[in-house]
Structure 1
Amino acid sequence: MSSSDDFFKGLVFGAVIGAAAGILLAPKSGTETREDIKKFSSDVQDKAQDLYYSSRKEVEKRIKALKAAGNRLDLEAYKKLVSKVVEELKNDSDVAASTAKKIGEQLTDDWNELKSAVV
């Protein structure tokens, strides 16, 4: 969450508290105060609804961007990279071939999990 989001939330919260204090502490009759409270609650509801819809649009936009990024993932390039790593590990005298194969399988499983999570 960015500092501008925190600032906006603090600003809205402060406005709500200030307006509530102003309404409740104003020297008005009960009828006028109730009308002010109704208007205030309606305004708060409208602002909350606007915030909800704008947040929802932002989340939808980010989900679309994430899906688009997932579509750009290149399985063939990933497989080539995994094969290269596995071959290098097989050639390393300290790493057994079976260990290199297990690492390759794990990397392939990781790819499948990543792809299914994004798409």
Structure 2
Amino acid sequence: MDEERGFSAKSVFLSFLLGGIVGAGLALLLAPQSGKETRAKIKETAEDVKEKAEGYLKEAKGKVAGILDKAKETLEEKKSAITKAVEAGKEAYEKELSKDKEQEG
């Protein structure tokens, strides 16, 4: 149903994640703490977000690499099947030509 409206699960998840990050940042900024404590918490949160983003990126790269490997394998299989079919077609054509020449001669 979300797909029909143009929203994918990925975009909803990323929106949720971004909203959580913004909310956490605002909570840190508005909490009654000293500036030094607030900056330390913001830095810590930013580092956590960076680590999570790097993890998601690494995971996505792994999935893409797997998909590409599978696509290459499938392409090679199809290419091989087409090559065999073309060769079989050539052989059949040449057999028919030789039959025609034998019948003429």
The two structures share one fold, judged by TM-score above 0.5:
yes
Counterpart among 48, 56, 79 of residue 51 in structure 1:
56
Deviations 1:35-55 (A, max 9, x none): 111111111111111111011
Match of 1:76 in 2: 83
Q: What does 1:14-93 correspond to in 2, within 5 Å?
A: 14-73=19-78, 74-76=81-83, 79=86
Deviations 1:57-85 (A, max 9, x none): 111011011111111112236638x99xx
The residue identity in structure 2 corresponding to 1:56 is K
> How many Å separate the matches in 1 of 2:13 and 2:58?
15
Runs of 4+ in 1 over 2 A off after TM superposition: 76-80
Provide structure 2 residue ranges, at least 5 long, that are not aligned to the other structure.
Answer: 1-6, 91-105
Paired residues in the alignment total: 82
Percent of aligned pairs sharing the same letter: 27
Say whether 1:10 aligns with 2:15. Answer: yes
TM-score (norm 2): 0.67
The residue identity in structure 2 corresponding to 1:22 is A
The root-mean-square deviation of aligned C-alpha atoms, in Å, is 2.5
The residue identity in structure 1 corresponding to 2:11 is D
> How many Å separate the matches in 2 of 1:44 and 1:51?
10
The residue identity in structure 2 corresponding to 1:79 is V
Question: What is the CA distance between 1:20 and its match in structure 2?
Answer: 1.0
TM-score (norm 1): 0.60
